[in-house]
A and B are shown apart, each in its own frame.
Chain A
Amino acid sequence: SSELTQDPAVSVALGQTVTITCQGDGLGDYYASWYQQKPGQAPILVIYGQNSRPSGIPDRFSGSSSGNTASLTITGAQAEDEGDYYCFSRDYPLYVFGTGTKVTVL
């Protein structure tokens, strides 16, 4: 089975931009989705498809993909964006989550 690799942790100054990446062999063939998880809470979907946001997700969250890398960008990070972020995609026929990235807003 393949893996989806993410940087363990990143930090961003309040109001600045941060990009989280997710690398995996299958990402050239399958869409990735992105989830935000805060301590003690269930994950929530923030980005899916080419660059779609569920209702209620601020437009400072955006997604992109190139080759075997999917990316989540937070433009103008806010304190409430602090948390763990996971990518998710297909490891055909199965599924796999990324290793997770802890985002700290300074």
Chain B
Amino acid sequence: QAHLAESGGGLVKPGGSLRLYCEVSGLIFSDYYMSWIRQAPGKGLEWVSYITNSGSVIYYADSVRGRFSISRDNAKNLLYLQMDSLKAEDTAIYYCAGGHRSETYYNHFRHWGQGTLVAVSS
């Protein structure tokens, strides 16, 4: 049974930094592409960033490019999101989600974590 657990969220001032973690268990992490997805309070889902199973290809949404950095450690089964220059509009629940590399073509996330809350406020 796959399990994804996010951590690292919290309250941070505008302009500050935060690092999110997603610990994955119950599957072969190195076979899974991963993404970070966020949801602002009362709003819809927003895709944030994507990384292939090997880490060789990375994409960012326009809203975070240049401020956020996604990475992974396949030996530790960990996905990261380094968030710098945070803004009030980055306030959201951040979910990690993933799918098997053989199903990349289907543009989907079979496995999701429960999310971690990031609040950016002075």
In the complex, the answer to whether B47 meets A45 with C-beta atoms within 8 Å is: no
Q: Helix, strand, loop or mixed for chain B's interface? A: mixed
The answer to whether the Cβ of B85 comes within 8 Å of any Cβ in the partner chain is: no
In the complex, the answer to whether A45 meets B44 with C-beta atoms within 8 Å is: no
A45 neighbours in B (Cβ, 8 Å):
108-110, 112
The answer for the CA separation of A30 and B108 in the assembled complex, in Å, is: 11
Distance to closest chain A CB from B87 (angstroms): 19
In the complex, the answer to whether A33 meets B108 with C-beta atoms within 8 Å is: yes
A99 neighbours in B (Cβ, 8 Å):
44
B37 neighbours in A (Cβ, 8 Å):
97
Distance to closest chain B CB from A103 (angstroms): 14
Distance to closest chain B CB from A8 (angstroms): 10
In the complex, the answer to whether A30 meets B45 with C-beta atoms within 8 Å is: no
Closest-by-CB residue of B relative to A98 is B44
Contacting A at CB under 8 A, from B93-113, are: 95, 97, 103, 105-110, 112-113
Given contacts A33-B106, A33-B107, A88-B107, contact A97 B112 (CB under 8 A): no
Partner of A35, one of B45, B60, B106: B45
Count the A residues whose beta carbon is within 8 Å of the partner chain — how many?
A: 28
In the complex, the answer to whether B114 meets A42 with C-beta atoms within 8 Å is: yes
B35 neighbours in A (Cβ, 8 Å):
95
In the complex, the answer to whether B44 meets A42 with C-beta atoms within 8 Å is: no
Residues of A in contact with B (beta carbons under 8 Å apart): 1, 30-33, 35, 37, 42-45, 48-49, 52, 54, 84, 86, 88-90, 93-100
Please list 27 pairs of residues, one from A and one from B, whose beta carbons are closer than 8 Å in the complex, sorted by A's number: A31-B105, A31-B106, A31-B107, A31-B108, A33-B107, A33-B108, A33-B109, A35-B45, A43-B45, A43-B95, A43-B97, A43-B112, A44-B112, A45-B109, A45-B112, A48-B108, A86-B45, A88-B45, A88-B108, A90-B107, A93-B59, A94-B59, A94-B61, A95-B35, A95-B50, A97-B45, A97-B46
Q: Other than the known A1-B62, A42-B114, A43-B97, what 10 A-B pairs have Cβ atoms closer than 8 Å?
A: A30-B107, A33-B109, A42-B112, A48-B106, A48-B108, A88-B45, A93-B59, A94-B61, A97-B47, A99-B44
